[in-house]
Amino acid sequence: MKSSTIKAVILCAGSGSRTGLSYNKVLHYFGAKTAVEYCIDAFHAADITDITLVAAQRDKDRLRALVPDPSVKICDGGETRFQSVKNALETLDDCDIVVIHDGARPFVTPETIKDSVISAQKFGSGIAAVPALDTVKIAEDGIITSHLKRKNTFLIQTPQAFDYGLISRAYSKARGEFTDDSEVFQITGKNIHLSHGEYANIKITRPEDLFALPRGVFAGIGFDLHTAEFGNEITLGGIKIPCDMRLVGHSDADVLIHAIMDALLSAEGLPDIGVLFPDTDDAYLNIDSTVLLTKVLSLMKKEISSISCVIIAQKPKLASYIPLMREKLASVLNISREKINISATTTEHLGLIGDGKAIAASAMTLLKD
Question: What 3-state class would DSSP assign to 345?
Answer: strand
Task: Tell me the C-alpha distance between 50 and 81, whole Å.
Answer: 21
> Cα 120 to the chain's mean position, in Å?
28
CB 164 within 8 A of CB 94: yes
Relative to beta strand 51-55, strand 72-76 is parallel
For position 289, what pLDDT does the model report? 96
Closest CA to 114 of 45, 217, 64: 45
Q: What are the average pLDDT values for consecutive 10-residue runs of the chain, which has 369 residues? A: 83 87 91 89 95 95 92 93 95 93 95 97 97 94 94 96 96 90 95 96 90 81 96 96 95 96 96 94 94 96 94 95 96 94 95 96 92
The DSSP letter of residue 354 is H
Structural domains of the chain, with CATH = 6-211 (3.90.550.10), 217-368 (3.30.1330.50)
For position 14, what pLDDT does the model report? 85
Alpha-helix runs per DSSP H in 127-185: 164-173, 181-185
Contacts of 7 (CB under 8 A, 6+ apart): 48, 50, 51, 52, 92, 95, 97, 98, 99, 164
Contacts of the segment 129-135: beta carbons below 8 A, 24+ positions apart: 129/154, 129/155, 129/156, 129/157, 129/194, 129/195, 129/196, 129/197, 130/154, 130/155, 130/157, 130/197, 130/198, 130/199, 130/201, 131/155
Q: What is the pTM of this model?
A: 0.71
Beta-sheet strand order (sheet of 217-230): 245-247, 217-230, 358-368, 303-312, 340-345
Question: What 3-state class would DSSP assign to 323?
Answer: helix
Task: Tell me the C-alpha distance between 15 and 103, whole Å.
Answer: 11
For position 3, what pLDDT does the model report? 60
C-alpha gyration radius of the chain: 26
Count other Cβ atoms within 10 Å, centred on residue 291: 15
Q: In the structure, how many helices (H) and strands (E) does the chain have?
A: 11, 18
Closest CA to 149 of 170, 164, 128, 134: 134
